[in-house]
C-alpha cells in the first residue's frame, strides 16, 4: 500500500483546504493513457473518491484516492514532497527504501 509521509499529508491538507474540499476531499491518482500506448500517473484534487478507488488516510486525516491501476503501480511506493530549485513544493513518488 502507498505510504504517505507527514510532509505529504500536510501538503494534501493544505491543497484540499485551498480547493474547499477539506474533510471529504483528497488527492487522487489515476493512470492516464498517452499517445504512444504508454500510461502516465495523473494527479488531481478530488472532492471525494470515485467508485472503485482505494482510499488511504494519513494519521492526521489527509486522504489519497487511488484508482485501481494507480493503486497497483503505487503499492510499493512512498508519497512525499520535495522542494525544487525555485522553492516550489512538488509531490514526489519514491521507491520504498
pLDDT in tens, 56-81: 999 989 999 999 999 999 999 999 99
CATH of the domain at 30: 2.60.300.12
The average confidence (pLDDT) of the chain is 92
Q: What's the chain's Rg over C-alpha atoms?
A: 13
Let me know the angle formed at the C-alpha of 65 by 64 and 69, rounded to the nearest 5 degrees.
125
Name the domain count of the chain.
1
Is the distance from CB of 58 to CB of 9 less than 8 angstroms?
Answer: yes
Split at pLDDT 50, 70, 90, the class of 92 is very high
Q: What is the pTM of this model?
A: 0.90
Q: What pLDDT score does 31 carry?
A: 93
Which residue range forms the structural domain that includes residue 12? 3-95
Amino acid at each position: 500500500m502507498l505510504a504517505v509521509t507527514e510532509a505529504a499529508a500536510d501538503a494534501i491538507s493544505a491543497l484540499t483546504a485551498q480547493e474547499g474540499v477539506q474533510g471529504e476531499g483528497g488527492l487522487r491518482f489515476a493512470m492516464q493513457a498517452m499517445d504512444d500506448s504508454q500510461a502516465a500517473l495523473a494527479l488531481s484534487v478530488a472532492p471525494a473518491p470515485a467508485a472503485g478507488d482505494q482510499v488511504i488516510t494519513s494519521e492526521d486525516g489527509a486522504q489519497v484516492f487511488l484508482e485501481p491501476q494507480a493503486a497497483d503501480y503505487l503499492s510499493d511506493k512512498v508519497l512525499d514532497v520535495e522542494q525544487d530549485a525555485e522553492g516550489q513544493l512538488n509531490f514526489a513518488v519514491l521507491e520504498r527504501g
